[in-house]
Every structure is written in structure tokens, then in C-alpha cells.
């Protein structure tokens, strides 16, 4: 029985697979596209798993920076805002760009007037405008890219803004997945 199973496995690996023959006949960009699609799918699954990490009881204010830091793996940029007053003025408490944390204490104009909207409603703004407001440079790779940032209020007090380099419709799908993931987490009020 073992010999029979072993010979079947050998035959299976000896024959070129459909994927391998497809790649040999196509340019290498087709292979890259398949790899990118796989990476996007895997990243989406990992993004969705954040809600499992922070599921259960209401997360505390101490957990918000940790939750926010997880987003740097999925987005080019991110900003965590906290409203100290009811007038809509928010303070930038944490930020990242291109995988690196940004020290918010050294930034000029750390406040921003955020629009009043319901929790988890997604709003869009040009990333260039947001970065200029805080005196940050997009970097050479992103200057002419027309990046969009997506603002998502978590509750009356906290909001996040994230930036993705993905084009439509993948950007919309990634943001919708983030929105659904955040809705599963019980944020402090």
C-alpha cells in the first residue's frame, strides 16, 4: 500500500501542473499578478483577524494604541485622533507612515477639526492635504500618487484615518473590511 501511494505521489510531482504550464507560456507579469492577488487576499484575512484579537469585553483606552499599531501592516499611513472637547477639535495621538511610527509630540499643529458623523461611517480626504496639515512629507514614492485617506470615527471620542496605495476597487474592499473589523470591536465610549 505504501509503494502504491508513493508511486502516485511521484507521478503527481513528475507531471507539470496546470499552473506551471500556464506560467511558462505567459510573460512573468502574469506570475506577479497572481502573487499580488494572493498577497491581497492573505492581508485581508489577517486584517479581519484583528477583531478576534480585540474581541470580548470592551477594550480600554490603553488598548487603542496597540490596535492602531496593528494597522501599519495593512496601510501605507495612519493617524489616531482623540477629541478632548465636544467642539470637534481632535488631537493627533499616534501616527505611522510607510511602516514607521511618527512621533506626534514633535509635529506642529497637532490638532484637526474633524467632521461630526456617526461611528464607523467612512469619509475620504486627500492624503496630501492631511500630511501637509501636520507638516509631514509623503516621500518621493508617494508625492504624485493621488493617495486618499479614509477617516473612520470609532466613537464620539476616537477616530482613525488610514491611507492605502491600492487602487479601486481593491481600496474600497480593504476599507470596507477594515470598517467591518472595527465594528466587531467594543470600543470605549
C-alpha cell at 30: 502574469
Residue 26 has pLDDT above 50, yes or no: no
Q: Confidence band (pLDDT; 50, 70, 90) for 16? A: very low
Residue 22 has pLDDT above 50, yes or no: no
Residue 17 has pLDDT above 50, yes or no: no
Percent of the chain scored above 70 by pLDDT? Answer: 69
Q: Are the C-beta atoms of 107 and 136 separated by less than 8 Å? A: yes
Q: Are the C-beta atoms of 187 and 155 separated by less than 8 Å? A: yes
Q: For 40-64, what is the mean pLDDT?
A: 73
Residue 152 has pLDDT above 60, yes or no: yes
Residue 55 has pLDDT above 80, yes or no: no
Residue 112 has pLDDT above 80, yes or no: yes
C-alpha cell at 69: 499599531
Residue 159 has pLDDT above 50, yes or no: yes
Q: Are the C-beta atoms of 159 and 90 separated by less than 8 Å? A: yes
What is the CATH number assigned to the segment(s) 38-183? Answer: 3.30.450
C-alpha cell at 99: 511602516
Query: How far is Cα 149 from Cα 65, in angstroms, rounded to an integer?
Result: 19
| Backbone dihedral region for residue 97 (phi beyond 0: left; psi -120 to 50: alpha; all else: beta) | beta
Per residue in 65-86, pLDDT tens?
888 888 888 899 999 998 887 6
- Mean pLDDT, the chain, whole residue set: 75
Specify the pTM: 0.71
Helix axes 170-183, 28-53, angle to 10 degrees: 10
How many C-alpha atoms does 97 have within 13 Å on its Cβ side? 18
Among 96-105, 125-134, 153-162, the range of highest mean pLDDT: 153-162
Amino acid at each position: 500500500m505504501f509503494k502504491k501511494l508513493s508511486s502516485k505521489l511521484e507521478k503527481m510531482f513528475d507531471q507539470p501542473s496546470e499552473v506551471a504550464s500556464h506560467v511558462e507560456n505567459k510573460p512573468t507579469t502574469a506570475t506577479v499578478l497572481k502573487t499580488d492577488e494572493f498577497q491581497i487576499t492573505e492581508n485581508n484575512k489577517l486584517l479581519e483577524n484583528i477583531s478576534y484579537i480585540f474581541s470580548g469585553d470592551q477594550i480600554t483606552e490603553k488598548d487603542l494604541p496597540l490596535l492602531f499599531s496593528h494597522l501599519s501592516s495593512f496601510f501605507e499611513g495612519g493617524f489616531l485622533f482623540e477629541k478632548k472637547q465636544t467642539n470637534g477639535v481632535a488631537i493627533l495621538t499616534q501616527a505611522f507612515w510607510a511602516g514607521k511610527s511618527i512621533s506626534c509630540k514633535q509635529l506642529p499643529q497637532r490638532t484637526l477639526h474633524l467632521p461630526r458623523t456617526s461611528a464607523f461611517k467612512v469619509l475620504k480626504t486627500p492624503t496630501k492635504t492631511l500630511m501637509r496639515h501636520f507638516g509631514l512629507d509623503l516621500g518621493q514614492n508617494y508625492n504624485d500618487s493621488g493617495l486618499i485617506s479614509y477617516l473612520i470615527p470609532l466613537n464620539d471620542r476616537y477616530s482613525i484615518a488610514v491611507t492605502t496605495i491600492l487602487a479601486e476597487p481593491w481600496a474600497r474592499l480593504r476599507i470596507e473590511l477594515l470598517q467591518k473589523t472595527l465594528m466587531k470591536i467594543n470600543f470605549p465610549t
